[in-house]
Amino acid sequence: MRAGLREAVRLRLESDVPLGVFLSGGVDSSAVVASMREVTSGRIATFSVGFGRAAPTYDELPYARLVARRFATEHHEEILEPDVQAILPEIVRGFDEPFADSSAIPTYVVAQATARHVKVALSGIGGDETFGGYPRYLGLRVSALHARLPRWLRHASRSLAAHLPDSASSRNWADWARRFTAEPDAAPGDRYVGWTRFFGDAQLAILTTPALAAHLGPNVDELQQRAFATGGHGDPVDGAFRVDLAAYLPDDLLTMADRMSMASSLEVRAPFCDHRIIEESLRLSPRAKMPGGRLKGLLKTAFAGVLPEEVLAHRKQGFMIPLGDWLRRDLRPTLDDLLAPDCVRMRGLFNADTVETMKLEHLTGARTHADRLWTLMMAEQWMREYLDQHGRWSLR
């Protein structure tokens, strides 16, 4: 594992311009820094984004600093303040299409900071998909046990999850529980794909207007379902790996990294996406990559004694932002502007009453709808940037 990543990093250090590394403080990017130090004794510049005391559960800067000190990097930090309204049009123009992953915000900010010092940056993107880093992979293990329960008990668990209070921290267990229990009778592949969606089919039926619903095609999850079916090793978790390698990694993470970095004239390279690493990872069983149910257990074992123990031991964070809190405070004017009832009705795409209910539930803390509201906000922002050239555009 270490030898393969070291070689993938070495190949990506070939450049005529200075290079750096996106260092989140997680295992993947830290392993890239460690591998980079193994093949060069020269300057390594690392770049991190944090949130300071305002959102400590989202902040991995302390772990990034440990790695930077261990490998003697030239470390740079950017504290992200929620002045998103100012950069939102730039982010939308950078994608050139509607794109709803809120991690685009810190990606854009760290790319801007990095581009001030280097022209190429390495990233840990792909480590989760190749070596089992997402908690939802373990969710499939639990799902198999859940499926053995009597049908009435599975449905009762869904009713119970619906009444759990949401949390404002980066780990909203209540929302996870609702996603987990949402389709108690579904097949493993359908359940897994459902966990990755912000809006399920039932939610879309309530959200969309008849005018938009008439344009929605069937089988929107066909690609993911086919990928899940190609899984091997007699383990549905392998199907989940293939779903993320086929869809989430290229269509979300790599798209986001490429377009947000290129918006700052920065090139990003991803050693974990080296075809030899991915091919080798697919030959390994999920139990080999996650021994004993330990997320990224193989990768962590490979870098035991190399990376600081605190980095190996702390729970996965992900490149997330405290979006839920921001929508209730600093981004509230942006939310009210982009999803104003009159605006939503004028567009004719979404049911204004449904959107208002989501907003009210989120703002009062009754439910966390941050990702769903952000999706609608980005759609509206994109329409304003690209379609409102000659007055307001609508489906009506």
Residue owning tokens 């300071």: 52
Over residues 75-127, the pLDDT tens digits come to: 999 887 757 888 899 999 999 999 999 999 989 989 998 999 999 999 999 99
The whole-model pTM stands at: 0.89
Distance, CA of 392 to CA of 375 (rounded, Å): 20
pLDDT at 264: 93
pLDDT at 224: 95
Pick the closest to residue 44 from 35, 55, 56 (CA basis): 35
Cβ pair 79, 322 in contact under 8 A: no
pLDDT at 7: 97
Average pLDDT for residues 347-359, to the nearest whole number? 97
Mean pLDDT for all residues in the chain: 89
pLDDT at 317: 65
The full set of domain ranges for the chain reads: 2-132+242-313, 135-231, 323-386
Count of CB atoms within 10 A of residue 47's CB?
29
Tell me which CATH code domain 2-132+242-313 carries: 3.40.50.620
Alpha-carbon torsion, ordered 142, 144, 147, 148, to 10 deg: -100
Over residues 46-82, the pLDDT tens digits come to: 999 887 655 555 668 899 999 999 999 999 998 877 5
Q: What percent of the chain lies above the pLDDT cut of 90?
A: 66
Distances (CA, A) of 275 to 8, 11, 125, 129, 241: 9, 12, 13, 13, 15
